[in-house]
Amino acid sequence: MNNESVIEEALKEAREKMEKAVAHTASELATFRTGRATPLLVEKIKVDYYGTETPLQQLAGFTVPEARQLVIHPYDKNAISAIEKAIQTSDLGINPSNDGQVIRLTFPQLNEERRKELVKLVRHKGEEGKVAVRGVRRSIRQGLESFEKDGELSADDLERAEKELEAVTHEFTVQIDKLLVNKEQELLEV
């Protein structure tokens, strides 16, 4: 393998792994309640469905008839009590109500104190995402340095590759920052 292809492969691997870290961070941030109803808040909740831990999204459909209400339509009406129990034991802090056909979740307005707590949690999740991106950078850099030690890369090529890797890292940390800003605005919006 020539120097260019070694560097290209390393940067391609870095991009793929960093994209996954950003996607994971985005999905983590989506689970934070903003006072608006969204299926993302509940679809990953595990329901004990006939002895099997099953994600709610596999057991029901969701609709949002108004901004602060989420309606869950179980595919199997016998699962209503199990779904209700799973929602009550989750960290949502919402009491479900059902009419035998559907489950309704009404999201209360968030108070100022809770909004600030959520912003802190969101920032923490964002920082975890950035740490993951930097971890990818570190492992790719170590791989490149081992190629240099083995004589497959020159010192100049290593330096150029590290600069490109730094640019890629910056690009993905900026993406996480944008996700954070959007989520914080959503949380602080009354």
pLDDT, tens digit (0-9, with 9 covering 90-100), for 80-113? 989 998 888 887 778 888 888 899 988 777 778 8
Residues of the chain with pLDDT under 70: 1, 33-35, 190
> Does residue 116 contact residue 107 with C-beta atoms inside 8 Å?
no
Q: Could you give the domains of the chain? A: 3-31+111-188 (1.10.132.20), 39-106 (3.30.1360.40)
| Residue 15: DSSP 8-state | H
Residue 8, burial from CB neighbour count under 10 angstroms (0-12, 13-18, 19+): middle
- Give pLDDT, residue 1: 57
Q: Is the pTM of this model over 0.75?
A: no
> Does residue 68 contact residue 36 with C-beta atoms inside 8 Å?
yes
| Residue 100: DSSP 8-state | S
- Give pLDDT, residue 169: 95
* Residues sharing a CB contact under 8 Å with residue 163, sequence separation 6 or more, in sequence order: none
Alpha helices in the chain (DSSP H): 3-30, 80-89, 112-149, 155-188
- Give pLDDT, residue 5: 83
